Structure 1
Amino acid sequence: MTPTEHEDMTSKDLARVVVLDHGSGNVRSAVRALEAAGAAVELTADRETALAADGLVVPGVGAFATTAAQIRAVGGDRIIERRLAGGLPVLGICVGLQVMFAAGTEHGERTIGLDQWPGEVTRLQARVVPHMGWNTVEVPQGSRLFEGIEGERFYFVHSYAARSWELESQPPLPDPLVTWATHESDRFVAAVENGALTATQFHPEKSGAAGTRLLRNWLRTLPRRRAGATA
C-alpha cells in the first residue's frame, strides 16, 4: 500500500465535522483544534454539507445578540433545528452554548436565543468580570464528554452565563447531564450533554491537552454517516 492510499483510507475513517461559518472570531481555532483531535473538518455555512456531516460545531465569541443574529443570517438556526430533530450531533462552544437558551440579556437588552433549552443567560454576579482564565468544573456521574478528564481545568472567557438549569425531565428520555463551574461565589452552567446537543461555556480549543481530550471524547460519540446523507 502506498502512503497516498494509506492516507486516503485513514481520512475515510475520520469523523466528518462541519464548523458553522457564521462570522465568529474563533472559527479558525476551532477548526485547528478539531483537526488535532482527529476529525476531518470543513468550515462552511452550506446547508447540505452541514446536514450531511457526522457532527456540527457552533462556535461563538462576543455578544449574545450578535452571535444569534450571525447564526440566523446564514440559516444556522434552521440547520441546528433540523439536525437535532434527526438526532444528529451538535456541539456549541462559549456563546455557541449561550444562544441555545431561550434568551440572553446584555446591557439591559433582551435577545431571543435559539430556544433549545429554557432559561436565560445573564451577567455573572462577581466582583471581577469577565471571568477569564483556567477553572475546574463539577462533572456529573456518567459524563461521556469529560471521561478521563473530570479533574482537569478548562479555559473560560465570559461575562455572561446560564446561572440556572430549567429543563424538566422528559421520560423516557434520559435526563441531561449538566456540568457546573463557579466564579467567585457565582455558580453557572459550564457544559451540557443533552442527547444530540452538547455545549461548553469554556473554550476546548484554548484548553490545551484537556480540551483536545474533550473534543476526542465528543468525536467518539458521533455516528458515522455515509457521504451525501442528510437529515
Structure 2
Amino acid sequence: MKLILQIIPVFLIVSQGYCVNILYMHDVFSPSHHIWNNALARGLAARGYNVTFLSTDPPKSNTQNLHYIVIENGYELLNKFLGENHENYDIVKYSQEVNKNKFAAATFLAEYAVKSCEAIAASSHGLDIILDYPNDFKFDLVINDFTAGPCFLPLIQKFNYPSVIGVSAFLNPTYTDFVIGGHKHPAYVPHFLLNFPQIMSFYQRAYNFAIYITEKL
C-alpha cells in the first residue's frame, strides 16, 4: 500500500506533463534545416503527439499525426526582398562572397532573418491559416526554431502562452540571449563566425567585439 501511494504521484505528474497538441514553428528558409526539424516533428508524431507543423518547406511524405501548414511562395518572396538590396542577387553566390568578409557575413545573416519574416508575412497562403485558428484552441506545447529570430513568437500570445521550447540546428545564433536569456560576452564567447578559442588574445577579443557590435548595429 505504501508503494502504491508513492507511485500514484508519479503517474499524476506524467499525465500532466503529456502534451497532446504541439505547435512546431519552423521559419528558416533552408531545405537542410527543414530536414532536421522535420525529423524531430516526425519523431514526436510517431510517439502519439498531435503535431501542427508551421513550415517554410512542404513535406516529402505524409506522416500520421503530423499536420503541415506551409508558407507558400516563401522562397520566391525572400529572394525578391533580398534582391532589392543586392544587385544581380543569387543567394548561394552571395553567401559564398560574404563569408570571405566576416563583417559582411554578420550583417547579411541579420538581414536574412528580417527579410525571411517579411516574406512570411507577405505570403498569400500559410500564416493566415494558423491565424484563423480560434484563440481558445489549446496547444499544450510550442516548439520554436529560433535560428532566424522571433518571427513566429507572437503566435504564443494568440494561443494564451503555452510552454515554449526553443530549438536550432545552427550553431549558436547571436540573438538567442535576447529570446531565451543569458549573454554572449565578447571577452570570452567567440562569435559563431570566428574560429577563436574561448581563451582569446587581446587582438582576438577586440576583433570579436567588433563583429558583435557590427551585427547589432
TM-score (norm 1): 0.30
Q: Higher strand proportion, which one? A: 1
TM-score (norm 2): 0.32
Larger Rg computed on CA atoms: 2
